[in-house]
Structure 1
Amino acid sequence: MAWTIGGILAVVALAAIALQIAIARDGPAVLSAVDRVSGGDGGAELKAKITTGDHPDQKLLIWGPKERPTLDHARPVLLFVHGGSWNSGDPESYDFVGRAFVERGFIVALAGYRLGEAGQYPGMVEDVAGAFAQVREQISAYGGDPEHIVLAGHSAGAYNMMMVALEEKWLRAHSLAPDAISGIVGISGPYDFLPLDSDSTKAAFGHVEEEQALKATQPINNVNGDAPPMLLIHGEEDTTVGLFHSKRLSRKIQAAGGTATLSTYPAMSHTDPLISIASPWRNRRDIVDQIATFARYVKAQK
């Protein structure tokens, strides 16, 4: 019996290690697969795939409830922007985000943007602004409220959507302003990363040679008191994007008269908050409920 129990424990340990390796290699796709097996569909389904530009990375995936939406009860909308160091990632790997928040009463839009050389600054920011404009224009057809759209993003995606929220010119190109955004959820985001000291930041921003223009690429340098309300989530053990990014941004937003809530997690790394959105982890942690509560609350305060 002891050998049998030991063997089972060894298999479980090996399975856990294998899962961690798989997540490291293609985390979001693995999370989506685990989520689907562990949590089922949550009553959610992919409603549409919308092209937002000429490049294959420019797309929106719309997730909603299986039942037909009622026209007199539009759902709040969560527009989620994936990470990946501005050189990788695909919204089609983030089904778990759609299922998690549709189950909690939202319509979810997963946004893609140009990556690598094609998406060098400002391309990736322009694409997220364009995605927001498309969602605002089309989401009512899927049961979403175009007046209640919360922007969320992880890592590089958090940077992209934060720039859209803080610097007016990106939405102005679509005849919109940042006050069209109900709220912002930044997860493990980089907001203050000068000087450029990593391969990913150099690849995405290194072509910006003029010093003032480079400074303008930083969310921390575009803060104003009129920004939409923010929820900033960050793991204290994040060695990829340090906690100081969210701390500095929240302090500066508050000093400017804006609203920024910082939520930190002592034992979490860079990807742990994202993993917490997938089943079975989301039932053991409060991140999904925290985001959902914030996203509903900002509508009432707008």
Structure 2
Amino acid sequence: MGAGSMELTTLYLDQPIVWKRAVDIAAPYGTAGPTALFYIHGGGWNSGNRDLFHYHLEHFSSRGYWCASAGYRPAPEVNWKQQLTDVTGAYLAFLRHLERRQETVRNMIVLGSSAGAHLASLLALVSPEALDIAQKDSDLWRKPDACVSINGPATLEEWPDMNADIRGSIEQTIGYPYDVLDRTDMFAQASPVNHVGRDSPSFLFLLAEREYFFPHAHIHLMSEKIRSYGGESEAVLIEGTEHGFFYRLETPEQQRALGLLEAWFDRRKEKKMK
């Protein structure tokens, strides 16, 4: 397989196939490195697809990374916990794929954008058992070593002056409107910041300068909370960008974010080798 000719393996989680419940896997060109990347797309919990992160898969697989991009069923067909079930199943399928090829991965990193950042954060912070998410191949479960949240939320709990579109999208994936008072615990349970603890993995938050949906202040509070427990966390503002900026790798701003991401990966490799 030559450079520029990425080949994908698509694994569906069900037989017969269930729409969206699948993962695309790109094998590394040449010798595999010690890091694997697992991506989750955004789209307001109600749209988007696995293809969105294929530019990242192409780039990083050409540099020795095992890469995967997961799909999940959209809201309101399902709620956030069912979506997390879908991406957890895709993650386990990726782990099984690596095991069958006897690949040694020292550093498993999950990444997501927007709604995908929400699901990636929960995947990194909460075990399937903690949220009562039943999975086949659960014996393979491995807590991610790190998470990259790209213009994603720290909380889904109501805040002042919420953007109307994101408010509606959050209510869709929770399955209830904010004004149903006896369901406020559902918004809290679905909020990544509420699951931060002493065993939280490392986080990198990439923030869009023009962020319409998720307040930066919430991300900074989550980042500080991770550090307060002794964890590692960075929040970096990418100037000249707006929400949803980092699917492609073409513009100067995207290239800057890519450089930051690769440098962060390299630092993690060095720490793992010590």
TM range (shorter): 0.7 to 0.9
Indicate the RMSD between aligned Cα atoms, in angstroms: 2.7
Any conservation in 2 of the 1:135–1:146 contact (CA below 8 Å)?
Answer: no
Q: Indicate whether 1:43 and 2:13 are aligned.
A: no
Comparing 200-209 and 261-270, the one that deviates more: 200-209
**Alignment map for 1:78-97 (pairs within 5 Å):** 78-97=37-56
Residues 201/213 of structure 1: CA separation in 2 closer, same or farther (3 Å cut): closer
After TM superposition, the runs of 4+ consecutive aligned structure 1 residues lying more than 6 A away are none
Distance 2:254 2:183 in 1: 47
Which residue is equivalent to 2:168? Answer: 199
Any conservation in 2 of the 1:253–1:260 contact (CA below 8 Å)?
Answer: yes
**Alignment map for 1:10-25 (pairs within 5 Å):** none
TM-fit CA distance, 1:127:
1.4
Which residue is equivalent to 1:290? Answer: 260
Higher helix fraction (1 or 2): 1
TM-fit CA distance, 1:271:
2.0
Q: Which amino acid aligns with 1:289?
A: G
Q: Deviations over 1:215-252 (max 9, x none)?
A: 11111111112111111110232112222232121011
Which residue is equivalent to 1:251? Answer: 224
Residues 79/144 of structure 1: CA separation in 2 closer, same or farther (3 Å cut): farther
TM-score calculated relative to the size of structure 2: 0.81
TM-score calculated relative to the size of structure 1: 0.74
TM-fit CA distance, 1:89:
0.8
**Alignment map for 1:149-298 (pairs within 5 Å):** 149-168=108-127, 169=130, 174-175=138-139, 180-195=143-158, 198-207=167-176, 209-272=182-245, 274-275=246-247, 277-278=248-249, 280-281=250-251, 285-298=255-268
Residues 60/122 of structure 1: CA separation in 2 closer, same or farther (3 Å cut): same
Which structure 1 residue ranges, 5 or more long, are not aligned? Answer: 1-40
Count of aligned pairs between the two proteins: 254
What fraction of aligned residue pairs are identical, expressed as a percent? 21
The 3-state SS of whatever aligns with 2:255 is coil
Q: Which amino acid aligns with 2:110?
A: L
Q: Which amino acid aligns with 1:80?
A: Y
TM-fit CA distance, 1:145:
3.8
Q: Which of structures 1 and 2 has the bigger CA Rg?
A: 1
Any conservation in 1 of the 2:73–2:86 contact (CA below 8 Å)?
Answer: yes
Distance 1:81 1:216 in 2: 20
